[in-house]
């Protein structure tokens, strides 16, 4: 089947995602086992709260969570660490790692889009880059803002990385996770998760409230369907944390 990549752009033109129109992000060639039921909720509905990540045997818990949810363990780790960093830096945001997972599932299936893998250092084995934002039908026209440095396109901007940021937004909000002094890399799940956390917190305020959470997600992508897709993932991951204990 020929795949036509759909690019949905939020109102401010910041972040896009690359899955096909009408395609469930779990329906790849990869044999995913974890099913995320669609949850039809009204905008403003508060999202479930996950059980806390255990402080003992955390590595084993990460492995179990990854195995039960079709996420790379390295990506789960990135989400969990981004939550911890955010709770220290922005305690009033109340971001949970499952919100990052909900976004990452829709944007790139946690860095596994189109056969990509996540390496031990968090780098993607091949870049995830969206279609050119050239004003084609259904696509906003966004001329290049980074001379192709991040997206390889010197003419038009493209969304980059596992969390699908536009170069201009990445430049403003990005943060290197390991503090090694190198520029943040959108093709690294640690940097992408931490940057998404910063952006969501700045956009929504208190994500423990329904109002704050929906504001943040709709700023990420101004589509109620998109927000419900993210919500569905968050709901499924929250239930899995209860099962795992």
Nearest Cα to Cα of residue 142 among 133, 155, 131: 133
**pLDDT recorded at residue 198:** 97
Residue 175 CA to residue 186 CA, distance in Å, equals: 10
Rg over alpha carbons for the chain, rounded to the nearest Å, is: 17
pTM of the model: 0.89
Give residue limits of the domains in the chain: 58-244
pLDDT > 60? residue 54: yes
DSSP state of 146: S
What average pLDDT score do residues 54-68 get?
95
3-state secondary structure of 155: coil
Contact 216, 47 (CB under 8 A): no
**pLDDT recorded at residue 30:** 58
- Give the Å distances, CA to CA, from 198 to 31, 70, 137, 201: 32, 25, 31, 5
**pLDDT recorded at residue 31:** 62
Contact 149, 167 (CB under 8 A): yes
Q: Which range (21-30, 117-126, 227-236) has the least confidence? A: 21-30
pLDDT > 60? residue 23: no
Only one residue has tokens 């990540």, namely 53
Residues 6+ apart with CB under 8 A from 97: 50, 53, 76, 79, 80, 82, 83
Nearest Cα to Cα of residue 25 among 98, 100, 110, 96: 110
3-state secondary structure of 87: helix
Angle (CA) 147-148-152 rounded to 5° is: 165
pLDDT > 80? residue 32: no
Q: What is the fold of 58-244?
A: Lysozyme (1.10.530)
Q: Which range (23-27, 102-106, 121-125) has the least confidence? A: 23-27
User: What is the enclosing helix (H) or strand (E) of 171?
Assistant: helix 167-173
Mean pLDDT of the chain: 89
């Amino acid at each position: 089947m020929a795949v036509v990549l759909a690019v949905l752009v939020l109102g401010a033109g910041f972040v896009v995602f690359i899955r096909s129109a009408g395609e469930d992000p779990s329906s790849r060639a990869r044999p995913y086992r974890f099913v995320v039921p669609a949850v039809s909720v009204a905008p403003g509905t508060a999202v479930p709260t996950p059980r806390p990540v255990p402080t003992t045997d955390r590595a084993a818990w990460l492995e179990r969570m990854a195995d039960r949810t079709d996420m790379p363990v390295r990506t789960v780790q990135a989400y969990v660490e981004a939550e911890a960093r955010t709770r220290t830096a922005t305690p009033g945001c109340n971001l949970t790692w499952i919100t990052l997972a909900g976004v990452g599932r829709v944007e790139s299936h946690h860095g596994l889009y189109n056969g990509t893998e996540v390496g031990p250092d968090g780098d993607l084995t091949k870049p995830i880059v969206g279609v050119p934002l050239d004003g084609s039908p259904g696509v906003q026209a966004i001329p290049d803002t980074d001379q192709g440095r991040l997206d390889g396109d010197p003419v038009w901007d493209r969304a980059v990385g596992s969390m699908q940021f536009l170069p201009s937004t990445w430049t403003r909000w990005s943060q290197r996770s390991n503090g090694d002094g190198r520029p943040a890399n959108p093709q690294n799940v640690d940097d992408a998760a931490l940057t998404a956390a910063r952006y969501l917190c700045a956009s929504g305020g208190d994500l423990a409230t329904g109002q704050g959470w929906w504001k943040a997600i709709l700023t990420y992508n101004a589509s109620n369907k998109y927000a419900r897709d993210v919500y569905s993932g968050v709901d499924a991951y929250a239930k899995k944390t209860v099962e795992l204990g």
